[in-house]
Structure 1
Amino acid sequence: MLKMDRRIRKSQEAIKMAVIELMIEKKFDQITIQDISDRADVSRRTIYLHYTDKFDLLDKLIEEHIDDIRELCNSTDDDADYKDMGLVWFEYFESHSLFFSALLASKGSPFFRNRFLAFFLQELGDNVPEGSNQGLTDGEYVDIQFLGAAIVGVVEWWFKNGMPLPPSFMAQRLGALLEKNLEASGYTEHQIAPPSNADRS
């Protein structure tokens, strides 16, 4: 049974790597299950045992990385600021550069960008101060949309230019820009703060 589990994991990793490599080469809409099967050296049946179709495969792959980033966010110190969080983000991006390059810097599906943006919007929105039970104010909503789009834009630039600057530099600059914009919008240090364990409990 253990040997079977190991074989299943190996097949799943081969399938994931295959779709990432293929997305670097061509648009996601042009990729077929047969392409993935050939590249991963597994049967089409094996792919369908784990995934409904290529969209389900991509969705699960994206969710896996987003869950990993969210877990890293949740494990940081409670007093972490945006520069600290930025370093966590960019170090993760660097260690999974092939995946993020395929989805952000090449001919990958725009679906990922929307999911990536949604992740940052959720991270920011979860930390808006609970001033009322009505959810976000119009101003907070606009601010969060701006900050989320800014983060995604910076990450896209980084990958499209071949990661020209180290994660530490990117974290410092992005963190400083986010804090500057929050201060200009009139937020205190406790408003739209970076995620922390305390916020998640």
Structure 2
Amino acid sequence: MAQLATGKVDRRVRRTRELLRRALLELILEKGYARVTVQDIIDRADVGRSTFYAHFRDKDDLLAYGLEALRSAFVPAGSEGSPSLAVFEHFRESQEVWQAMAGRRGADAFARQLHEFLTELVGEQLRARAPHGPTRVPVDALVEFAVSTMIGLGMRWWRMGEEPYPAQEVDRLYLQLTEPAIEAGLRPAER
């Protein structure tokens, strides 16, 4: 019986968070991220202020929550597909999110959150590949290179509309551009 009750709470939590996330996206499309208030979000989602704050600290926290779906999609290297493919597939599958967040009305806040989020994920991947000791290029610089290229290529692809290339092709291009530099940069530093 306790498991059933926990399941109901989990479903309610997920449903409430999804209502709040959807309300934020709709409002960003209408008025831009900077002009959206927590009051706007709770009015649109039809939830109370205490409910909002039981789930999120502020609208930035709600924005970050939307990126967490990407974390579970970000597959480790060696699995089916590359980690970057998961990102490009997320770009394709979540066009409504990207329209709201990457468009001019949400771009600054979203770009900052996305960059921080991908820096954490790509950083984990590259640090796991790095040898012990110094590398030819500092790992943090390689992470910045990989993340900036991923975001730039992904945003360009998304803005082209009508999906001119499948996600797998964009990922192939990304890997062709970045892997040689990453491999060279991760080599042990010459002494």
Give the TM-score taking structure 1 as reference length.
0.71
Q: Work out the CA distance in 2 between the residues paired with 1:57 and 1:17.
A: 10
Deviation string for 1:15-58 (max 9, x for gaps)? 11111222223322210112112221223332122222222222
Q: Work out the CA distance in 2 between the residues paired with 1:139 and 1:8.
A: 41
- Please list, as runs of the form range in 1=range in 2, the aligned pairs for 1:134-153 lying within 5 A after superposition: 138=137, 140-153=139-152
User: Is the Cα contact below 8 Å between 1:23 and 1:106 reproduced in 2?
Assistant: no
Q: Work out the CA distance in 2 between the residues paired with 1:90 and 1:150.
A: 12
- C-alpha deviation, 1:181, in angstroms: 4.0
Q: Work out the CA distance in 2 between the residues paired with 1:114 and 1:124.
A: 20
- C-alpha deviation, 1:139, in angstroms: 5.3
User: Is the Cα contact below 8 Å between 1:86 and 1:170 reproduced in 2?
Assistant: no
RCO greater where, 1 or 2, for CA within 8 Å and sep 6 or more?
1
Q: Unaligned 5+ residue runs, structure 2? A: none
Q: Which residue matches 1:115?
A: 113
Distance change (3 Å), C-alpha of 1:24 and 1:122: farther
Q: Which residue matches 1:67?
A: 71
Distance change (3 Å), C-alpha of 1:165 and 1:25: farther
Q: Work out the CA distance in 2 between the residues paired with 1:54 and 1:85.
A: 28
Q: Work out the CA distance in 1 between the residues paired with 2:182 and 2:54.
A: 47
Q: Which residue matches 2:88?
A: 90
Q: Which residue matches 2:131?
A: 130
User: Is the Cα contact below 8 Å between 2:42 and 2:49 reproduced in 1?
Assistant: yes
User: Is the Cα contact below 8 Å between 1:124 and 1:144 reproduced in 2?
Assistant: no
Which of 14, 20, 44 is matched with 2:19 structurally?
14
- C-alpha deviation, 1:154, in angstroms: 0.6
- Please list, as runs of the form range in 1=range in 2, the aligned pairs for 1:44-83 lying within 5 A after superposition: 44-62=49-67, 64-69=68-73, 72-74=74-76, 77=78
**Which stretch shifts more, 83-92 or 157-166?**
83-92
Distance change (3 Å), C-alpha of 1:33 and 1:140: closer
Deviation string for 1:70-123 (max 9, x for gaps)? xx322x536x7xx73333322232222222332223421523323323324514
Structure 2 residue identity aligned to 1:108? G
Q: Which residue matches 1:158?
A: 157
Q: Which residue matches 1:178?
A: 178
Q: Work out the CA distance in 2 between the residues paired with 1:141 and 1:157.
A: 24
The RMSD of aligned alpha carbons is 3.0
- C-alpha deviation, 1:65, in angstroms: 2.8
Q: Unaligned 5+ residue runs, structure 1? A: 193-201
- C-alpha deviation, 1:174, in angstroms: 1.5
| Number of equivalences | 178
Q: Which residue matches 1:198?
A: none
Give the TM-score taking structure 2 as reference length.
0.74
Q: Work out the CA distance in 2 between the residues paired with 1:98 and 1:123.
A: 28
